[in-house]
Amino acid sequence: MSEKNASLVERLAAAGNPRDQHDWEQRDGYYVAACRVSADDVPELIDLVREWSDPNRSDDVELPDIDEAELLPITAWRALGDLKATAAVQPLVELVCELQDECDDWVCEELPHVFGKIGESAIEPLIRLAADDQQPDYTRSIAASGLRLVADYHPNTKPRVVALLTEMMASAREGHAEFNTTVLIELVDLGATEAAEPIERAFAADLLDVGVVGTWDDVRRTLGVESLGLKMPKDPHDSTKGLGLRLGMGIFSDQPIFFFGDIDDDAAEAYYKRVDDAFSKSIEAKKILERYGDLEWYPLLLRFGVDYLGETVDEMKLASIRHFVFGFVPSKVAVEADAAPAILAELTAFWQYLHRAHELSEARSILEWLQSDGLVARLQAEMSDPANFGMAKSIFSVGKQAGYDMASEAERATFVSHYNQSLASKQPTGAPGGRTERVGRNSPCPCGSGKKFKKCCGG
């Protein structure tokens, strides 16, 4: 911090940590009084603000430690807003552009208010920034928000600002959904009913993010306007859709299943139940029930998706199904090879249902593969080869060979207990391939349910 600014720094520090002034924008003139600043301080305040773009700046230090007051630029730009310092507009616009790659929350949330407080003199520079499509949408969006706040702080400018934002909406371009959506949000906040037609046309052209603002009907009801009746896109742009899918939210799940690497068991069970309630009543499921008597393979696929892949059916691709059919089933599921036709038939019916009822984009390619020639024979061969058996499936086979009724939950649990005891006493039962692994609580259950042992026979 230079000597020239020492006195000003002391006065700014007296206003306290900006993190503690949560409603600063509502207290017009607070920083003028708290920092004892005037128009004469504007050049030095601008110099302090510019330090925010210093790559060596850190905001880890709490105020009022004057020697390392890295948050002072925030206090400085708030003071400039309260001073309505016209001279600060262009330097602040340049600051927005300099930080465009940092996604700086302070800049995004605060500078629109600073521009708004400064007032009408900020309009032209903000228009130029918002119109510059060489700038990223994030930067242009700050300008659009600043324009709306100019109208909020200075109501006499509202007609001009509404007209400018309406023109921006009318000229919305593809590939700029974030900026277009910000313009829409500002128009709705201003109650700009006169912008209804360009807004509806932007929705119809799929130029807006419905995950952020809702549908045209939502916006129309908020504004209280009629519709032109334009046809809306069937699958509009929704930036939140991918996030929801990654969290396990989709057709059959309205709450997150996956959270920071963990699985919400209650949410997962609700997902399984909703799939079962829907599919088991379908015409596709009825054909499988008539032919094979029960439905047991698609639930295993669902659990495989959640437990092994972190996916619901909404995100499953052909690679997921291949992994299940030729990786999981031969290795983990204790069932005879003659079950292969039933497995593939049920999976085919399940994806036929998903294709018909929910039009999942991956369903067609999955169905083509499930119905390909030679798939049943290949699965039978894989299921018959002991070299493919995983530990749990091998143990299941050993138990069966030892005379245990592995279809009985009680006998499975008894065998696993004896098996583990034999390992502890160094008298292994002789699982195929020399396997002598202990069946742990988190191991796949030897019964072939696809669940962990602790949640199945070992529960």
Query: What confidence score (pLDDT) does residue 123 get?
Result: 97
Instruction: Read off the pLDDT band of 395 (50, 70, 90).
Output: low
Query: What confidence score (pLDDT) does residue 430 get?
Result: 43
Query: What confidence score (pLDDT) does residue 441 get?
Result: 46
Lowest mean pLDDT among 26-35, 75-84, 237-246, 371-380: 237-246
Question: What are residue 253's phi and psi, to 5 degrees?
Answer: -145, 120
- Cα–Cα dist 237/239, whole Å: 7
- Cα–Cα dist 321/176, whole Å: 36
- Nearest residue to 58 (alpha-carbon basis) of 47, 42, 69: 69
Cis peptide before 91 (omega within 30 of 0): no
pLDDT in tens, 156-203: 999 999 999 999 999 999 999 999 999 999 999 999 999 999 999 999
pLDDT in tens, 306-321: 999 999 999 999 999 9
Query: What confidence score (pLDDT) does residue 103 get?
Result: 59
CA 240 to chain CA centroid, Å, is 6
pLDDT in tens, 31-70: 999 899 999 999 999 998 888 876 555 444 343 444 345 7
Give the best-scoring range by mean pLDDT among 139-148, 250-259, 400-409, 413-422.
139-148
For residue 243, the one-letter residue type is L
- Cα–Cα dist 124/268, whole Å: 53
- Tokens standing for 303? 């659990």
Query: What confidence score (pLDDT) does residue 69 get?
Result: 55
Query: What confidence score (pLDDT) does residue 64 get?
Result: 43
CB-neighbour burial class of residue 407 (10 A; exposed 0-12, middle 13-18, buried 19+): exposed
Mean pLDDT of the chain: 84
Q: Is the pLDDT of residue 279 over 60?
A: yes
Per DSSP, the chain holds a count of helices (H) and strands (E) of 24, 2
